[in-house]
């Protein structure tokens, strides 16, 4: 038990140092040695616990999404806004993309993990759970393999959109980019244009009028 606790503490030290250095220096310029020096642990512990830096970034990104989801749900409950899966998921997309792309340091991190294909890392398979929820809730009829395909296609599209947005390829506002990303996600789930238009309109209204989430350094969310 003591050994297990020590291992968990070591893993958390590495995660915490990674968050700090990814924010300060970016994903690409942060080495495994720098992470371990900051955490005060042996550099050999990264392959032991995480395999590589890519996996650390995918864990940080995935749990950031989960934290956003949890906070959005709490706000909706507090404000007596009915929790409807398709609208709430779209709101979460508005929130996390706005937060990551509105701060230069987080924008750099987001851009660089997209370039490294982190969003389709095995650890981000947790995202498949959200597609499964939609599949069951709205009786979409997708097989397990089709859900995996949707997750990979949507993730690949997201990475491409973020890369080109940061590079200045698109002449568009951030809100328009996020709306398009949400549209692609629901289009992959075979929802009609009218349904997707409704999701985007209602989720954006909730996002603008009711959601008060900001992001501090080291991926910490807080209410404003």
CATH number at residue 18: 1.10.10.60
| pTM beyond cutoff 0.85 | yes
Print pLDDT tens along the chain (224 aa): 556 667 788 999 999 999 999 999 999 999 999 999 999 999 888 998 898 999 999 999 999 999 999 999 999 999 999 999 999 999 999 999 999 999 999 999 999 999 999 888 765 567 788 899 999 999 999 999 999 898 888 889 999 999 999 999 999 999 999 999 999 999 999 999 999 999 999 999 999 999 999 999 999 999 99
Q: What's the number of domains the chain is made of? A: 2
DSSP states of 32-93 as a string? HHHHHHHHTS-TTHHHHHTSSHHHHHHHHHHHHHHHHHHHHHHHHHHTT----HHHHHHHHH
Per-residue confidence (pLDDT) for residue 126, from 0 to 100: 72
Question: Do 218 and 196 share a structural domain?
Answer: yes
Looking at the fold, whether 32 and 114 belong to one and the same domain comes out as no
For the chain, counts of helices (H) and of strands (E): 10, 2
Both 37 and 82 in a single domain?
no
Q: Do 21 and 93 belong to one domain? A: no
Handedness of CA 128, 85, 192, 187 (dihedral sign): negative
The CA distance from 121 to 185, in Å, is 18
Expressed as residue numbers, the domain containing 1 is 1-50
Same domain, 72 and 165: yes
What is the helix, strand, coil percentage profile of the chain, to 5?
75, 5, 20
What are 214's strand-pairing partners?
A: 222
Nearest-angstrom CA–CA distance, 140 and 196: 14
- Looking at the fold, whether 24 and 66 belong to one and the same domain comes out as no
> What stretches of the chain adopt beta strand conformation (E)?
213-215, 221-223
Do 166 and 211 reside in the same domain of the chain?
Answer: yes
């Amino acid at each position: 038990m003591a050994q297990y606790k020590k291992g968990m503490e070591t893993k958390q030290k590495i995660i915490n140092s990674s968050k700090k250095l990814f924010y300060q220096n970016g994903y690409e310029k942060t080495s495994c040695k720098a992470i371990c020096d900051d955490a005060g642990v042996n550099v050999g512990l990264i392959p032991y616990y995480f395999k590589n830096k890519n996996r650390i970034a995918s864990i940080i990104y995935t749990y950031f999404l989960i934290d956003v989801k949890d906070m959005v749900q709490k706000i909706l409950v507090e404000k007596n806004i009915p929790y409807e899966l398709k609208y709430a998921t779209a709101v979460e997309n508005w929130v996390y993309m706005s937060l990551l792309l509105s701060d230069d340091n987080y924008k750099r991190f987001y851009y660089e993990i997209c370039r490294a294909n982190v969003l389709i890392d095995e650890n981000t398979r947790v995202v498949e759970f959200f597609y499964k929820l939609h599949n069951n809730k709205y009786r979409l009829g997708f097989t397990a393999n089709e859900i995996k395909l949707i997750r990979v296609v949507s993730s690949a599209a997201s990475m491409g959109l973020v890369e080109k947005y940061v590079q200045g390829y698109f002449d568009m506002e951030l809100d328009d980019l996020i709306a398009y990303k949400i549209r692609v996600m629901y289009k992959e789930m075979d929802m009609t244009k009218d349904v997707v238009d409704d999701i985007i309109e209602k989720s954006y209204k909730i996002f603008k009028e009711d959601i008060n989430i900001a992001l501090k350094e080291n991926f910490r969310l807080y209410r404003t």
